[in-house]
Amino acid sequence: MTKPDDAYLLELEGLTKTFPGVKANDDVSFRVGHGEIHALLGENGAGKSTLVKMIYGVLRPDSGAMHLHGETFAPARPSDARAHGIGMVFQHFSLFEALTVKENIELGVNPELAKGDLRQRIIEVSDYYGLKLDPDRMIGDLSVGQRQRVEIVRCLLQNPRLIIMDEPTSVLTPQEVDVLFATLRRLAEEGCSILYISHKLEEIRALCHTATILRGGKVVATCTPAEETAKSLAEMMIGAILMPARRESSSIGDVRLWVNRLSLPSQQQFGIDLKDISLDIKAGEIVGIAGVAGNGQEELMAALIGEHTLGDHETLQLDGKPIGRMGPDERRGLGMCFAPEERLGHAAVPNMSLIENAVLSARIRKNLARSGFINFREAENLSREVVEEFKVKIVGLDHAARSLSGGNLQKFIMGREILQAPTVFIASQPTWGVDAGAAAAIHQAIMQLAKEGAAILIISQDLDELMTICDRIAVIADGRLTEAEPVANLTIEQIGVNMGGQAERSAAHA
Amino acid sequence: MLKIEPRKEPSRVMLYATPFLAVLFTIVAGFILFSLLDKNPATATYLIFISPLTSLYTITELLVKATPLILIAIGLAVGFRAGVWNIGAEGQFTMGALAGGAMALALYEVEGLWVLPLVCLAGALGGMAWAAIPAFLRTRLNTNEILVSLMLVYVATLLLGMLVHGPLRDPDGFNFPESRLFHDAATLPALVAGTRAHVGFLVAIIAVIVAWILLRSHMIGFQIKVVGQAPRAARFAGFSSPRIVWFCFMISGALAGLAGIFEATGPVGQLVPALPVGYGFTAIIVAFLGRLHPLGILAGGLLLALTYIGGEAAQISMSLPSATVQVFQGMLLFFLLATDILVNYRVSWIASGRRPAKTALQQPAE
């Protein structure tokens, strides 16, 4: 055995982990130095999550060894890892919705830390790192972005020596990303190492000192991201030449979806009221809505899907036909399809099979339930088509939706909706947590749909995504929507300013 | 060391195996219990689980007990799948018997083939009316249907008592708190001549088959499942959850009411204050034992009926305490809930693999 080197904080030697049917990690070795921001890059299913779970003590390797500070390190559970100064911010937050911020943090830290004036320390740490947080708010009332702050603060409270971050910027505005990066750089200067998982290659180039690239469970390259291009990184990651998604201008037709001065008081205590929202989307057009999570996107989505029907039938019009009082079924019947942000529990039923989940939203347009009886054979055919066309990695069509990885489930959901050939397609966060290759495929499918004459609305917090695929972009802030402007007239900074709550002013000017 | 870890998805094997495991554990625990009571456990187990199957009479009695259990449990299972926790089937059973019984008494000595269907219809409507109360309160005011439906059980029982002591009392009955015996046109025909087994069992079988088809391949069953598992996904799909709540309460109310009127017009033959004997509660065990699946409920209903008949036989011939039946039913539910963890979790033994981890944990502390 080679003698571990104390110059590195964490060393992985030949880690291997096999699950039934798949070798998730195969002889993975790399080193993370003190104060180093180390990127872990790879497609969905490349083994990043498995690897990170082993470091954090959630899983145990079949073989191989880890060294922390030159000592053998084999955490049996996350609390062991935390006791050794390893913190983790998950992509899917492990928070209890019915408890407050403080209570959640109390539960997630080691008992000694929970003693004393935890509330005060939460405020101090969150202020110090510019991650504003109210310890007494219920998690259920927080936006995705705010929930992430809870996770980060929980981590920072324990003075970690290594922080693992899984796709941390997906829910932040460009300005917030800058704040986070400043925080991370400061932490690194203070000697804390960071293992940074992301598929946003530009971010990795800007932030990370070193990158380890995984493909199919193996390390395929280690590089200095600043010396690479985003394209070369992506190509190492997917092992093929990447064709970047490029927006071909398609011929724009008549207005398909028209939102006419939509105001909707929120149904929840801390929800956002929608205020006087107007928007039109023409055939062949892709319109984007940018905004920080929790500024009314969810409420707008609910109103567009028809989960909350509108009092005034005329407020929402499809091809000139009022649809405001219609429910989701009727709207689907007229050609609309939807892909909400939350995959499990909203867009899909976690414990139901993929076939049943196809029935969930496709039964009207695909006629899967004639005279009330479900045609499972056709539902299966549709699911198979989705899986093949969108390259969803599955164990079997009859397995539960929750057994899929996040990215794969997202591909399934997007495929399920797109294959219904909608004339109006509305998607929220279409590529959240999806790797670069799959995101490009989803973008391609969306653009193809637009080319065929569909009107498309994309609600996303990923500005790069919106800038790449949209014709026009509007910004939502505190329940108000700015006028949708052609992408050519917009800069990221401008959108960022609007996202930060200047929307009211712009709306008044518009 | 025992280790429990979540499964990626529910185990189908365990889903079907755990009811059998629960029955097995119950028998083992019964063995221990009888040994502690100084009764011969083998004899007791034989008396409870085997002897009822050895004569035609006890088999027909088995059907008498299984009929209400299956009918009620089918209705409850439909609700439980949708997250509608109707615990008050006993009350709906009682109100069904009361409404149907009142109809039978109103038509006293009226002849005609239509009398019995009308009586049964009144029974079903009585159960539905009683179930409508928690349904209304839940959909309108978001009250907890567990509490509302449960409390209404006691109201229904007292109402039955009041009416058979008063307006529904047999005028020629020497002031006994009982109604008249129903006349022949309002009495359920026997399934096997000379026994108490009645055609209600056939209705229960039909209910099983219809529920099986609906839950398996009809949109109603699909909606129920989605509403129960993921309310937000149900809204996304365009399913109305208040409508499903109402549907579930109406189905379970109707079936419980039907079970009640079958009991009154079948084996009992009149309205008596002691008509509700707990079928509505035992049916909850049946529903879960049957995994909320109609075929499972058919089997579960027969098994629980067995514990009633066998338990009584064992009580009489071995002078066991009268609580024996309830103890058995309680253990069955207990073991079922206990083994339920195996569906979503994997339990494994960790032998020596854990030790290196512990030493590693201690190293930096040194």
> Is B7 at the interface with chain A, CB within 8 A?
no
Q: What pLDDT does A243 receive?
A: 56
My answer on whether A433 and A393 are in the same domain is: no
Which amino acid is it at A195?
A: L
Using an 8 Å CB-CB cutoff, list chain A residues near B358: 76
Contact B235 A307 (CB under 8 A): yes
> Is B9 at the interface with chain A, CB within 8 A?
yes
Q: Which residues contact B65 (CB under 8 A, 6 or more apart)?
A: B304, B305, B308, B309
* Closest CB to A373 among B218, B238, B240: B218
Which amino acid is it at B70?
A: I
Which conformational region is residue A27 in: left (phi greater than 0), alpha (psi within -120 to 50 degrees), or beta?
left
Q: Show which of A372, A394, A420 is a domain's final residue.
A: A420
Q: Show which of A238, A270, A291 is a domain's final residue.
A: A238
Q: What pLDDT does A247 receive?
A: 63
In order of A86, B39, B40, the CA distances from B45 in angstroms are: 57, 10, 9
Q: What pLDDT does B335 receive?
A: 92
Q: Which residues contact A340 (CB under 8 A, 6 or more apart)?
A: A301, A305, A346, A347, A428, B236
Beta bridge partners of A321: A318
A243, part of any domain = no
Q: Which residues of A touch B (CB under 8 A)?
A: 60, 69, 71-76, 80, 83-84, 302, 305-307, 327-330, 332, 338, 340, 342, 345-352, 356, 359-361, 363, 369, 372-374, 376, 399-400, 402-403
Contact B220 A372 (CB under 8 A): yes
Question: pTM to 2 decimals?
Answer: 0.76
Task: Give the β-pairing of A472-477 and A286-290.
Answer: parallel
CB A357 within 8 A of CB A349: yes
Q: Which of A341, A356, A373, A426 to mutate to test the interface with B (most CBs of B within 10 A)?
A: A373
B300: closest CA of chain A, how far (Å): 25
Pick from A340, A266, A348: which is nearest to A301 by CA? A340
SS3 assignment for chain B? CEEEEECCCCCHHHHHHHHHHHHHHHHHHHHHHHHHCCCCHHHHHHHHHHHHHCCHHHHHHHHHHHHHHHHHHHHHHHHHHCCCCCCCHHHHHHHHHHHHHHHHHHCCCCCCCCHHHHHHHHHHHHHHHHHHHHHHHHHHHCCCHHHHHHHHHHHHHHHHHHHHHCCCCCCCCCCCCCCCCCCHHHCCCECCCCCCCECHHHHHHHHHHHHHHHHHHEHHHHHHHHHHHCHHHHHHHCCCHHHHHHHHHHHHHHHHHHHHHHHHHHHHCCCCCCCCCCHHHHHHHHHHHCCCCHHHHHHHHHHHHHHHHHHHHHHHHHCCCCCHHHHHHHHHHHHHHHHCHHHHEEEEECCHHHHHHHHHHHHHHC
My answer on whether A134 and A268 are in the same domain is: no
In order of A29, A75, B316, the CA distances from A217 in angstroms are: 11, 21, 68
Could you give the 3-state DSSP secondary structure of residue A3? coil
Element (H, E) at A451: helix A436-451
Question: At residue A249, does pLDDT exceed 70?
Answer: no
Domain residue ranges of chain B, discontinuous segments joined by + = 52-319
CA-to-CA distance for B133 and B153, rounded, in angstroms? 12
Question: At residue A2, does pLDDT exceed 60?
Answer: no
CA-to-CA distance for A363 and A374, rounded, in angstroms? 8
Contact B229 A338 (CB under 8 A): no
A167, part of any domain = yes
Name the one residue in this structure whose structure tokens are 């009811």. B19
Superfamily assignment of B52-319 in CATH?
ABC transporter involved in vitamin B12 uptake, BtuC (1.10.3470.10)
CB A104 within 8 A of CB A146: no
Mean pLDDT of successive 10-residue stretches along chain B, which has 366 residues: 78 86 91 88 88 90 95 97 95 97 93 93 97 96 94 96 91 87 91 88 97 94 94 93 95 97 94 93 93 94 91 86 83 89 82 43 34
CA-to-CA distance for A110 and A114, rounded, in angstroms? 7
CA-to-CA distance for A66 and A266, rounded, in angstroms? 50
My answer on whether A453 and A413 are in the same domain is: no
My answer on whether A119 and A139 are in the same domain is: yes
Which conformational region is residue A309 in: left (phi greater than 0), alpha (psi within -120 to 50 degrees), or beta?
beta
Pick from B157, B151, B141, B155: which is nearest to B87 by CA? B151
> Is B358 at the interface with chain A, CB within 8 A?
yes
Element (H, E) at A337: strand A336-339
Q: Which of A118-127, A271-280, B272-281, B347-356 has the lowest mean pLDDT?
A: B347-356
Beta bridge partners of A166: A197
CA-to-CA distance for B318 and B41, rounded, in angstroms? 11
In order of A343, A428, A433, A439, B243, the CA distances from A409 in angstroms are: 7, 14, 10, 13, 30
Tokens representing residue B350 in the block? 């960790």
My answer on whether A176 and A266 are in the same domain is: no
A388, part of any domain = yes
* Closest CB to B233 among A75, A346, A399: A346
CB A323 within 8 A of CB B208: no
Rounded to two decimals, the ipTM of the complex is: 0.83
My answer on whether A399 and A432 are in the same domain is: no
CA-to-CA distance for B200 and B262, rounded, in angstroms? 6
Which amino acid is it at A282?
A: K
Residue B317: count of CB within 10 angstroms of its CB: 12
My answer on whether A293 and A400 are in the same domain is: no
Q: Could you list the residue range(s) of the whole structural domain that residue A480 is in?
A: 255-335+422-509
Residue A177 burial (10 A CB sphere; 0-12, 13-18, 19+): buried
> Is B36 at the interface with chain A, CB within 8 A?
no
Q: What is the DSSP letter of A250?
A: P
Q: Which residues contact B341 (CB under 8 A, 6 or more apart)?
A: B4, B347
Q: Which of A159-168, A301-310, A444-453 has the lowest mean pLDDT?
A: A159-168
> What CATH number should be reported for the domain holding residue A475?
3.40.50.300
Q: Show which of A401, A420, A439 is a domain's final residue.
A: A420
A153: closest CA of chain B, how far (Å): 25
CA-to-CA distance for B8 and B334, rounded, in angstroms? 25
> Is B355 at the interface with chain A, CB within 8 A?
no
Using an 8 Å CB-CB cutoff, list chain A residues near B229: 349-352
CA-to-CA distance for A354 and A358, rounded, in angstroms? 6
CB A303 within 8 A of CB A487: no
CB A38 within 8 A of CB A32: yes
My answer on whether A54 and A179 are in the same domain is: yes
Q: Which of A127-131, A323-327, B94-98, B238-242 has the lowest mean pLDDT?
A: A127-131
A130, part of any domain = yes
Backbone angles phi, psi at A166, to 5 degrees: -105, 110
A340, part of any domain = no
Using an 8 Å CB-CB cutoff, list chain B residues near A301: none
pLDDT in tens, B126-184: 999 999 999 999 999 999 999 999 999 999 999 999 999 988 998 888 888 899 999 99
Q: What pLDDT does A131 receive?
A: 75
Which amino acid is it at A359?
A: V
My answer on whether A81 and A158 are in the same domain is: yes
Could you give the 3-state DSSP secondary structure of residue A333? helix
Q: Which residues contact A231 (CB under 8 A, 6 or more apart)?
A: A242, A244
Cβ within 8 Å of A, B 315-354? 353-354
Q: What is the domain count for chain A?
A: 3
Q: Is the dihedral of CA A302, A305, A310, A312 positive or negative?
A: positive
CB A64 within 8 A of CB A1: no
Mean pLDDT of chain A: 86
Which pLDDT band, with edges at 50, 70 and 90, does A78 fall under? confident
Contact A328 B360 (CB under 8 A): no
Rg (CA), chain B: 23
A177, part of any domain = yes
In order of B230, B233, B239, the CA distances from B225 in angstroms are: 8, 11, 11
Question: At residue A505, does pLDDT exceed 50?
Answer: no
CA dihedral A421, A426, A432, A437 (to 10 degrees): 30
Could you give the 3-state DSSP secondary structure of residue A29? strand
My answer on whether A325 and A360 are in the same domain is: no
My answer on whether A292 and A264 are in the same domain is: yes
My answer on whether A330 and A360 are in the same domain is: no
Using an 8 Å CB-CB cutoff, list chain A residues near B225: 349, 352, 356
Using an 8 Å CB-CB cutoff, list chain A residues near B230: 345-346, 349-350
Pick from A242, A320, A268: which is nearest to A138 by CA? A268
Residue B5: count of CB within 10 angstroms of its CB: 9
Q: Which of B236, B239, B241, B243 to mutate to test the interface with A (most CBs of A within 10 A)?
A: B236
Element (H, E) at A222: strand A218-223
CB B19 within 8 A of CB B290: yes
The number of helices, as runs of H, and strands, as runs of E, in chain A is: 18, 21
For residue A82, the chain B residue with the least C-alpha distance is: B361
Element (H, E) at A203: helix A201-207
